[in-house]
Amino acid sequence: MLKHKLTSLLILLSAINCLARVFPAPGAKLNYNQVMFEYEKVKGAHIYIIQIAEGSSPSAFYLPIVEQKDSATATMVSNLQFGKKYQWRYAGLTNGQPTEWHGPYYFEIVKDSMFEKKILDLKVTQNDPAENAGGLILIDAMHSIIDRSGKPVWYLPHINWRFNLLPPTKTVNGIQLTAKSMAFAPVIFDLRLTPAGTITCLADSDVAERDLNGQVLWRAPNDGKVSGIGGEGYNHDFKRLPNGHYMVLGNELWHKLSPQYSDTIPGKKRYGDRQFFNGHEYAKDETGTVIEYDRQGNVVWSWNSYNYLEYDPLRPRVRNQHIEYPLKAHINAFSIDKKNEFVYLGFRDISRIVKVEKSTGKVVDSWGLRIYLGGANHPVELHQQHDANILDNGNIAVFNSNDYPGSDSIPSAVIISQQPDDSNKIIWQFDCQLDSTERRANRNGGNVDQLKNGNLLVCTGTSDRIFEITMDKKIVWQSEISGVIKDSITCLHRLYRAHYVSSLYPCYFVFETDRDTISKNSPVFNIRIFNKGSESDLYNVNITSASGVLIKQFTTDRVPKYCSRTCNITPSENLNKGDKIEVLIRSQTNPDFERRNWLTVQ
């Protein structure tokens, strides 16, 4: 029942969003300042004008802060201010003059306490707009999306943040905390804005997809169907897949023992901690899982690292010059190839990336160190790396944490080739020696994303630096997390990853027909589709009669960002006077995003 409710909620919210004809709606409270304004079609108008003014006085429109024209019934406005109240109105233009004004409509952009108090801030130290990719940066530690000057554009709302002063006796990651140490929760991991324009992230163990307003569209069930006991132990990495499914990493913390199980080495217990659950004996034993869900929350594919690693807790591993048991099989990153055939998994504790064939569950290739469990197929110098990001050309981008706490080591961004001529070697590497603090840092997190201009966006994880670099190794944008709390006390905010997005609206469109009625004898009309999103898209067009008879169905060519496409429609079916014709258009990037209009036959 819960699955059906979640699906119904998603459909309802999508329908409300796509059918709303005036946005921001009257009285709206927004958590972002890059806003797509949408308004009703004005008969006879081919150009629209919108005005935005501060406050609520009608006289404010004599000096509007924004006056913008657009040929579509939607237009994006950036750089509005948090903490401000606005009013807006629109009109169609005829002969260059506005017709009747519609509005005013009132809305507010609400402040966030993290920004207002500068609990965490982004200090941009280098910005070369002519050479970097522009756009926006998503930063999970700050729960926000930031522009290239370091100013907030969006923040994650509806989260009950807790700021906890930690006791001086507490140790985290081997660091003795002082009375001036603070952490805030929940911890956000892997904040992303999907190509569909939705938000995904992990908030502690809560895994959800949200709209820009923070309303939950989908939530992972966390029902233990893969782990076998309790929850799934979601962690580190969560993605919405191109096919509309979701994939997330988990942990199986208890392994079900067979009735024939016995310790194989006299005098040594393979599993020191055992318990009975539901009549079966389990041993405490951490392995990593990968789970793929459909939109209804059903498990459609999963994988467990137990069998691959031939798990043997009696086999030691060396860390910090101490032997530790058991060997952790923890996964901290994944990505999927374009054809959805292979999953690439990053194992930090054994410094390895493995390639899993989805159809068989078998590991077909691996890269990393030779010193653990027989070693990887291809020896590559990685140490406690993060990320395993498959690129468009099939190569793999990795942030090599190279973490030897207290030792003089340097992290690096690397690209591993899968091309036959390069023999699975590191073909590109940049040592992240940005300053002396990098060398002895206790590093965790980090990622490397390739941008559409060919540059790389590199996040160094807990050392708090994010930068964009060309393939010629020229840094063209650089930033560092700072802030009142971070600068004055030890703040455990846990920067894990940073990602790029071209705008808050990578996928957004409107359309119009050139007439509301057509003649029975000459039923020709035009559809004009406006791609208002910041990424190109294709559109599926379905034209049907009121009785459900299909009149025409086709997919447009790819429409570039901020461009339009006009389609001529000549129905071949016999139409009767009074018939209603429905035009339904869906984005191919986000099939949930659909719009419709109706024409009448006269």
| pLDDT tens-digit map of 521-538 | 888 999 999 999 999 999
Same domain, 289 and 335: yes
Dihedral angle over CA of 393, 395, 399, 403, nearest 10: 180
Of 466, 471, 384, the residue nearest 429 (C-alpha): 471
83 and 110 in contact (C-beta within 8 Å)? yes
Residue 125 domain-assigned (yes or no): yes
pLDDT tens column, 54-67 = 999 999 999 999 99
Same domain, 71 and 201: no
pTM greater than 0.85 (yes/no): yes
Tokens 């929850």 map to which residue? 231
Taking CA atoms, 462 is separated from 170, 234, 353, 398, 441, in Å, by 19, 20, 21, 16, 9
Residue 315 domain-assigned (yes or no): yes
Same domain, 374 and 362: yes
Same domain, 477 and 543: no
Residue 19 domain-assigned (yes or no): yes
Residues of the chain with pLDDT under 70: 1-20, 117, 161-184, 258-272, 310-329, 371-374, 404-408, 435-442, 483-493
Same domain, 213 and 140: yes
Q: What residues are paired with 379 via a beta bridge?
A: 368
Segment (H or E) for 4 = helix 2-19
Residue 267 domain-assigned (yes or no): no
Q: What percent of the chain has pLDDT above 90?
A: 58
Note every long-range contact of 564-567, with CB atoms under 8 Å and residues 24 or more positions apart, other chains counting.
Answer: 564/71, 564/72, 564/528, 564/529, 564/530, 564/531, 565/528, 565/529, 565/531, 565/539, 566/526, 566/527, 566/528, 566/529, 567/526, 567/527, 567/528, 567/529, 567/541
Q: Tell me, what CATH number does 527's domain have?
A: 2.60.40.10
Same domain, 292 and 391: yes
- Domain C-terminal end among 455, 482, 501: 501
Length reported for the chain: 602
- Domain C-terminal end among 58, 87, 109: 109
Amino acid found at 203: A
Same domain, 13 and 149: no
Q: Which residue segment(s) compose the domain that 513 sits in? A: 509-601
- Domain C-terminal end among 76, 109, 142: 109
Number of domains, the chain = 3
Q: What is the pLDDT of residue 374?
A: 62
Same domain, 191 and 333: yes
Residue 224 domain-assigned (yes or no): yes
Same domain, 491 and 514: no
pLDDT tens column, 91-122 = 999 888 888 999 999 999 999 877 776 777 89
Of 109, 89, 107, 108, the residue nearest 99 (C-alpha): 89
Kindly report the backbone phi and psi dihedral angles of residue 312, in degrees, each rounded to the nearest multiple of 5, phi listed first.
-140, 100
pLDDT tens column, 187-213 = 889 999 999 999 999 998 899 999 999
Same domain, 27 and 151: no
Same domain, 331 and 430: yes
Q: What is the pLDDT of residue 544?
A: 93
Residue 266 domain-assigned (yes or no): no
Assign 47 to helix, strand or coil. Answer: strand
Same domain, 59 and 149: no
